Structure 1
Amino acid sequence: MAALQPGTLKRKSSLPVWLAIGWRVAAVLALLALAVGVHWIERDGLKDTADGQVSFLDIIYFTSISITTTGYGDIVPVSTAARMFDALVVTPIRIFVVLLFLGTAYNFVLKRSWDRWRMTIIQRNLQGHIVVAGYGKTGSEAVDELIARGATADNFVVIDADPDAIAHAQACGCIVVQGDATRDQLLEDVRITQAKAMIVAAGRDDTSILITLTARHLAPDLPISIIVRNEDNEFPARAAGATTVINPVSFAGLLLASSCTGTNIAASLADLASARGKVALTERPVRVGEIGKPLGAIATGLGVQLRRNGQAFSFADPEAETLLAGDSVIEIIATPLAQA
């Protein structure tokens, strides 16, 4: 199960568990063999208080005890060379072996328990968040724009299989999980049913559509925005359950066409779409005090369109003369930049 990581990110090791443990054991045995070899060569500098003779088995015993403990005093170094070797080589080996075993225990036992505990705490507080499946160029820009509009970075849960993309998202303060967003278990781990919205920008249309299908199956009412590159995939994306389908190629064509009839139209549209402009295009539900009034009478901004029962009406349509409960208003408002 993928683990949510709000803290230090570590790349998953490419070594299997048995090999990771094996090289640690091999390192300990190599150090033990080194100490045994030197003690055997310098055995005249050791004294056995039991029988006065230092055999090879005594060397193995003395070395093992010296590396793992401080010794029992039955075999002791008496020469200067033996004492210096124990002080300058065996003692550091003892410290290294202890740290090696502690690191192994942490990596394979304590760390997993700690990560599971952290994941439980994070999941418990996940509610009203935005899930971002794919943190490439498009996904990262979407997050940056939402943060510029006032969202906090820790309100985003970023899913991506690329460790570099995960590192970038985490550096921005997002909650991250490295894995496959098409998997039911991973989406359940990020509490997809408690999310406020989902952005799907996996980089491939087929992958994005499959992610959308998986998310819709788990969260029937979740607003899902997806980006597709091929116009032919817009219908499959909507059929998969996407609430909003964006085709950047088609939109770029619209901007190019608009620029032919007015040199400032494309810049104005970009200004409307970005929180960094002087005006912004926003959508909100009709307020109680606005019911029964025309769209042009709203006081919060310039009403340009309303949505009613899935249909869009402009400010010039007869429907815009009377706002009803349940309508959504699309308006142009001044941003703080314009007011500064």
Structure 2
Amino acid sequence: MNERRFLLRRLLLAATLLIAVTAVGTAGYVMVEGWSWFDSLYMTVTTITTIGGGEPAKMDVAGKSWTIVVVAIGFGSLTYTVLALFSYVVEGHLFAEVSQRRMRRRAARMVDHFILCGYGRVGGEIARDFAAEGIAFVIVDINPDSLERAAAEGLVVVNGNAADVATPQAAGIERARGLVTAVDADADNIYVTLSARILRPDLFIVARANREDAEPKLRLAGANRVISPYTIGGRRMASLAMRPTAVEFVDTVLSANNGQLLLEDITIAAGSAWIGRALVELFPDGDEAFVLALKRDGEMRFRPAAETPLQAGDELVAAGPPKAIRALEQRL
């Protein structure tokens, strides 16, 4: 992307130089030969391009000397401009193609990552949170400005329509941990969700809904969770107004920069050695981690009993110091 900007700047510089030489050459003929501005421009252009066309009037020695200067400087400027234009067209496309292939190779090596469709204002915030948590992710977008901005930040990007089958495949959807579609248009989010669900029936999908009537359509298309930025924003503002300290505490817990308390989702996998064992057995004496909630069969149970037997597919919401949470994940 930086290379393409360099080529564009060089082209603009060359074009500016050519225009300046043409203007100076025209003014020179007006002053030296006393010709009209049109005749002087005609003579300058035919001289620079070396196509010839005859002189508007007979020239004296001063006029011929000025023509030599115009040829020497003007032809060089024209040649530089043509080469800059050629480089911008050919090398620019070549660089873009090479860059995209490099990005696709990086995406092809990623495992257990997220696919983020859309790198606008909402997508940018999601990407920052992913990066802060150290979570691998690939950005899928079709907007050149968004792609350039993401690439400039060192993020992995795939250029393409996320609703097309080939694009999610290039982003490694078969190996992905989940997909977040945060495109501005609800229709696009529905198509992206539907395509992703067809490609990966078991994929966890979070979709953005801008309008209230889009939520049931997104769920029908296969989204596991549907989020409205406006609804969430309104609820958050209300909560901050009514319970500022509680909201601050939750923000601290969920913050990636929080080094004291970590909140994490942990799933009991099928075939786990912990299936059938009591929840309390997960935590040895002195362990600082604890379970806030257990989700089973779609039902959320807050502060489950210590004797609760674990089942395959149970989702635990665990809290504790980062070191204790990581140790819990390793035990499972």
Does the alignment reach a TM-score above 0.5? Answer: yes
Confirm whether residue 293 of structure 1 aligns to residue 278 of structure 2.
yes
Aligned residues: 280
- Looking at structure 2, the residues matched to 220 and 160 of structure 1 have their Cα atoms a distance apart, in angstroms, of 25
The one-letter code of the counterpart of 1:303 is V
Distance 1:173 1:8, change over 3 A: farther
In the other structure, the counterpart of 1:95 is 76
Identify if the C-alpha distance between structure 1 residues 250 and 157 changes in structure 2 by more than 3 Å, giving closer, same or farther: closer
Query: d(CA) in 1 for partners of 2:251 and 2:268?
Result: 25
Q: 2:130 aligns with which of 143, 146, 152?
A: 146
1:280 partner amino acid:
L
**Displacement after TM superposition at 1:305 (Å):** 2.3
The one-letter code sitting in structure 2 at the alignment partner of 1:89 is V
What is aligned with 2:314? 327
Match of 1:135 among 119, 133, 148: 119
Q: Which residue of 2 aligns with 1:306?
A: 294
* Higher mean C-alpha deviation, range 271-280 or range 307-316: 307-316
Distance 1:101 1:210 in 2: 44
Deviation at 1:240, TM superposition (A): 1.0
Measure, in 1, the Cα distance between the counterparts of 2:280 and 2:300. 13
Give me the identity figure in percent: 22
Matched with 1:159 is 141
The alpha-carbon distance between structure 1 residues 106 and 259, as it changes in their structure 2 partners (threshold 3 A), is closer
Give the TM-score normalised by the residue count of structure 1.
0.63
- Tell me the distance in 2 between the aligned counterparts of 1:105 and 1:9: 13
**Structure 1 residue 281 and structure 2 residue 263: aligned?**
yes
Q: CA deviation at 1:113?
A: 3.0
Offset at residue 103 of structure 1 (A)? 2.6
Q: How does 1:159-178 map to 2 (within 5 A)?
A: 159=141, 161=143, 163=145, 165-176=146-157
1:232-263 Cα shifts (integer Å, max 9, x gaps)? 43322121121222244555676578679865
Q: 182, 200, 205: which one pairs with 2:186?
A: 205
Q: Is the 8 A contact 2:274 2:310 kept in 1?
A: yes
Aligned amino acid, residue 318 of structure 2:
E
CA RMSD of the aligned region, Å? 4.4
Shift of residue 330, structure 1, vs aligned partner: 1.6
Q: TM-score, normalised by structure 2?
A: 0.64
Q: Which stretches in structure 1 are left out of the alignment for 5+ residues?
A: 14-19, 43-58, 66-78
Specify the code of the residue in structure 2 equivalent to 1:327. D
Aligned residue among 103, 107, 119 for 1:122:
103
1:1-340 superposed matches below 5 A: 63=50, 82=64, 85-86=67-68, 88-126=69-107, 127-128=110-111, 129-151=113-135, 155-159=137-141, 161=143, 163=145, 165-176=146-157, 180-248=161-229, 251=232, 264-277=245-258, 278-286=260-268, 290-291=274-275, 292-294=277-279, 297-298=282-283, 299=287, 301-308=289-296, 311-316=299-304, 321-335=308-322
CA–CA distance in structure 2, aligned partners of residues 271 and 324 of structure 1 = 31
- C-alpha distance in 2 between matches for 1:166 and 1:121: 14
Rate the CA distance shift 1:269–1:231 in 2: closer, same or farther, 3 A. farther
**Cα shift readout 1:279-320 (whole Å, capped 9, x = no counterpart):** 3321123485755231574347221223445554443258x6
Give 3-state SS (helix, strand or coil) of 1:140's partner. helix
Contact 1:132 1:199 in 2 (8 A): yes
Counterpart for residue 328 of structure 2: none
Give the partner amino acid of 2:290.
L
CA-CA distance at 1:268 after TM superposition = 2.5
Do the aligned residues in 1 keep the contact of 2:279 with 2:310 (CA within 8 Å)? Answer: yes
- For residues 257 and 81 of structure 1, the distance between their equivalents in structure 2, rounded to whole angstroms, comes to 79
Contact 1:148 1:276 in 2 (8 A): yes
Q: Deviations over 1:185-229 (max 9, x none)?
A: 544454444444322122343332222223323443432211224
Cα distance in 2 for partners of 1:169, 1:261 equals 37
Give the deviation of 1:133 after TM superposition.
Answer: 2.0
CA distance in 1, matches of 2:281, 2:240: 28
